[in-house]
Structure 1
Amino acid sequence: MKPFVKLALKLLSSPKINMEEDYLWIRKVQQFFSRKPIRANYRILDRKIYSADRSHDIPVRIFQPAEKKSDDVLLFFHGGGWVIGDINTYTKPCMNMADFTGRTVYSVDYRLAPEHPYPAGLEDCYRVADAMLDNLSLIGLTDASQLTLIGDSAGGNLAAAVSLLLRDKRKDYPKKQILLYPVTFWDHTINSPFESIRTKGKDYGLTAKKVSEYMELYQPNTAERKSPYIAPLMADDLSNQPDTLILTSENDPLRDEGEAYGMALREAGNTVRIHRVKESVHGFITYPKLSKLVVEAYEEINEFLTSK
């Protein structure tokens, strides 16, 4: 890792940043730098889906690829610790996702904590998946297997939780899911069973401290964080899950728990691929499309998407 990159990451890892106190100004900074880009040759559509109880709308942004290679669809849940991030901050990464995969991407603008703590964000993500599965023909699909769930970080956590909910509540559900450096466990203190929390939890941008603060905002009740819909690794039953690709980052406090979830899924009889992206840090999927880390990630993703 280059020295100036290490320095930048160390600054981002400052213990002076407290997500429980600073999330509002961090959101504002993100929003300032993520004004909706304009590309004349790119098609972006904004739509809304009613929540299950019709109390609010759930915005969904649709990205068409520059060159369509498949009629299949990716349903994307963004990262940000369930607290920051939105469809604007993830517009460029979703453009890249559509272009790299040649598939249409649906990005969900779920409600954020702490204004809307668990299960609000998960309910929104499940609602969109449920509505799409109930209306496959409206999105150009004929079968649930053509829909793949994908999410990064907290969004990877939401994708895993949605998969568990779909199995528990429906007869049909997506046959594939892609989890990018996901949160899968409930404890990110020094008591965590995962070594990467201690070895990679201080100087690489996302810190173990920040993850704990995000979790506190998402679900303040420590005991309830052990729910499998918050910590999928705590699930008693991981059978009948979609074929899964898990990408982890070498220098990420969440690395070991993401890989552990893949191994747990495999032990439960599911088909799983686990790939660690070396020399990477948490959040690399949002890097520019020419980044070697992004290129490597999409090589893995496309191989997975086209496999039987």
Structure 2
Amino acid sequence: MNRYMKAALAALSYADIDIKKNYKLIRKIETAAKKPRLKLMYQMWDHKIEGCGHEIPVRIFLPDKERVAYPVLLFFHGGGWVTGNIDSYSKVCQELARHTRHTVAAVDYRLAPEHRFPAGLMDCYRAARELFTQPGLLGVTAGEITIIGDSAGGNLAAAVSLMARDRGEFQPRRQILIYPATASDHSAASPFASIRENGTGYLLTAKRVQDYMDLYIRTDSDRRDPYFAPLAARDLSRQPDTLIITAQYDPLRDEGEAYGRRLTASGNRVEMYRMPDALHGFFSLPPRFIQVRKSYAMIQHFLGGGSV
């Protein structure tokens, strides 16, 4: 990354908005900025899943207007468990469906701090349980469903896979974790060098990650819960085949890669790739960016049974 780009990033990162005080405003800004303004050129419809006393919205995106049974990507969006929704991620899901030739089912899980851990996770789990145990809903078998998420969504995907193994109700065959949050400590005491190397000056700051987690957490003991921080799990056996994509200039880079190494050491099949010259959040950029196109190619290869 050249010095001019670094200088621009430093300027953009300087005005770090207080997420704890302004999370509602940030939600509105992100949704307004990212919600598609033109008629989307794909088949889409909304579905509701029954939670415990509430409905969980799921938006379905097809690769084209042919309503046939494509394999499914069950998508959990990012946003630090605090921001993001299926409107702000519609463009991402549209492009993901189109480039992978998969149906994308995006879960609009409940957000913190109004709904703290594990509320959002349980919404994701219940959505996964419905699709995996009733695969005929989208005309596919359970083996044709892959869990995927970016950032906080990657955390939720990993946690759903752990919970599925522990509860024995279903078992995902594949998961894709894009720059996932897997640890609970993002302070200067973190064991991961990327927190110190990339924790300031690259848009997502280590402080912002800590603030998101403070809004998501229910009690301090949650930090030791593997469903909150998957790296805290003592047992990572019997997990899905996993693709992990991290970003070079991301404070979460090292913890995502550490999770991949632990999965591998526990006997799971894992593919990892560190995207060069990439920042946290790059997956939400338009496909004209090379990092996004390369991610789609790796995802397609992984879904086809190959390795990156």
Q: Counterpart in 2 of 1:117? A: 116
Q: Residue 84 of structure 2 corresponds to which residue in structure 1?
A: 85
Q: Secondary structure at the match of 2:155?
A: helix
How much has 1:298 moved relative to structure 2?
1.0
Match of 1:166 among 158, 161, 164: 164
Output the amino acid matched with 1:231.
Answer: A
Q: Cα RMSD over matched residues?
A: 1.7
1:29 paired with 2:48, answer no
Map of 2:98 onto structure 1:
99
Deviation at 1:139, TM superposition (A): 1.1
Find the counterpart in structure 1 of residue 20 from structure 2.
Answer: 20
Q: Which moved more, 1:74-83 or 1:222-231?
A: 222-231
Superposed CA offset, 1:16-58 (max 9, x none) = 421111211111111222334443641111111110x2x1111
Q: Which runs of 5+ in 2 are unaligned?
A: none
Match of 2:44 in 1: 44
- 1:261 paired residue number: 259
Contact 1:145-1:173 at 8 Å conserved across structures: no
Q: Map of 1:1-308 to 2, 5 A cutoff?
A: 1=1, 5-14=5-14, 16-39=16-39, 41-51=41-51, 53=52, 55-66=53-64, 71-142=70-141, 144-170=142-168, 172-307=170-305
Q: Distance in 1 between matches of 2:207 and 2:128?
A: 32
167-176 or 259-268: bigger deviation = 167-176
Cα distance between partner residues in 2 of 1:255 and 1:70: 35
Distance (Å, rounded) in 2 between the aligned partners of 1:59 and 1:225: 28
Alignment deviations for residues 47-104 of structure 1 (CA, whole Å, 9 cap, x no partner)? 11110x2x11111111000388983100000000000000011000101100110000
Q: CA 1:40 to 1:187, structure 2 compared with 1: closer, same or farther past 3 Å?
A: closer
SS of the equivalent of 1:302 reads helix
Compared CA separation, residues 70 and 194, structure 1 to 2 (3 A): farther
State the alpha-carbon separation in 2 of the partners of residues 236 and 15 from structure 1.
Answer: 39
Q: 1:181-206 CA deviation, whole Å, 9 max, x = no partner?
A: 00000000000000000001001010
**How far 1:220 moved relative to its partner?**
4.6
CA separation of 1:263 and 1:101: change in aligned 2, threshold 3 A: same
Q: Is the 8 A contact 2:129 2:169 kept in 1?
A: no
- So what's the TM-score if we normalise by structure 2? 0.94
Aligned length: 305
In the TM superposition, residue 4 of structure 1 has moved relative to its aligned partner by 5.8
Cα drift, residue 7 of structure 1: 4.3
Distance in 2 between residues matched to 1:3 and 1:64, nearest whole Å: 41
Query: If the length of structure 1 is used for normalisation, what is the TM-score?
Result: 0.94
- Which amino acid in 1 is paired with 2:71? D
Amino acid of the structure 2 residue aligned with 1:83: V
Amino acid at match of 2:193: E
Q: Write the letter of the residue equivalent to 2:109.
A: Y
With over 3 angstroms needed to count, the CA separation of the structure-2 counterparts of 1:115 and 1:8, relative to structure 1, is farther
**Counterpart-to-counterpart distance in 2, 1:222 and 1:40:** 43
Aligned-partner residue type, residue 27 of structure 1: R
The residue type equivalent to 1:219 in the other structure is I
Q: What SS does structure 1 have at the residue aligned with 2:147?
A: strand
For residues 225 and 270 of structure 1, the distance between their equivalents in structure 2, rounded to whole angstroms, comes to 24
Contact kept, 8 Å, 1:67 with 1:102, in 2: the verdict is: no
